[in-house]
Amino acid sequence: MTEKRQSESREHWREAWLATGDREPRDVWYAIDETKMAYLRPHLPKSGRCLEVGCGTARLSRFLARLGYRSVGMDYEPAAIALARCRVEVDGLDVTLLLGDAFSLPFATGSFDVVLSTGLLEHFADPSPIVVEMTRVLKPGGLFYSDIVPKKFALMRSLQTVKLRRCEFWERRFNRAQIEALLRDSGLSVKRVFAAGIFPPPLPLVGRSRFLAHLQDRTAQAFGRLARRFDGTKVAELLGVYYFACAEKPLLAGRQCKRRMHREAA
């Protein structure tokens, strides 16, 4: 990404987080994140230390803190960290929040049992350095998770007519095979990757009425609960808004490599 685009990206996210209210809306996106956590929970270790990269409001970190995990959230935008601190304080949770660069994580190798991100990787033309860094700070046998919201058709976006002028070119296309290849090339063992998130599109102008906006959110959430049966199917590949991607850092990768070298030397 060029220096100009990096500057514009920072400005876009700064404005976006500053425009976000202190109160957390229980909207469709909140419901989507709850569903992601429901899918993720069977893969989580019983306990441990978790890192959310590009945490924004640290919603996933807060979900994990409620489950008893030691959560760390990191973002490069001070406005996001300030908002996350507010949300953490309101929730009464213990979550460590700090500024940092996803391309050079300020942690030692093998520091975390779980490393995750949400809606992050699709904003980079080449997210592989970030995934490599996330893998590096993950313990052998640790869990990698990311949900990716690629530039693709989705039912939820089908009525959008105005492009995101500033950040449109930061979105990139992804499909399941490409995500699996990204994880494998970063040294991870793929556990599960599937399309999900079929929700109806928000209607234009409804947001001007608090009552109608609330009614629309409740209707969309009910629709989404019914549509979950299609998650992981070709229907979700076509209509879903995100991909669930779960992988593991191989436990015996180092030992296997040494054995292979000894065999080749013999």
- The residue behind tokens 């908002």 is 83
pLDDT tens per residue across span 107-117: 999 999 999 99
Mean pLDDT of 201-206: 80
pLDDT tens per residue across span 211-252: 887 888 888 889 999 999 999 999 999 999 999 999 999 986
What are the extents of the domains in the chain?
3-265
To the nearest 10°, the Cα dihedral for 8, 147, 250, 103? Answer: 10
In 10 A of CB 114, how many CB atoms?
Answer: 24
Residue 2 has pLDDT above 80, yes or no: no
**Alpha-carbon span 56 to 123, nearest angstrom:** 14
| Class level of CATH domain 3-265 | alpha beta
Mean pLDDT of 187-196: 96
Pairing of strands 112-118, 49-53: parallel
What integer pLDDT is reported at residue 165 of this predicted model? Answer: 41
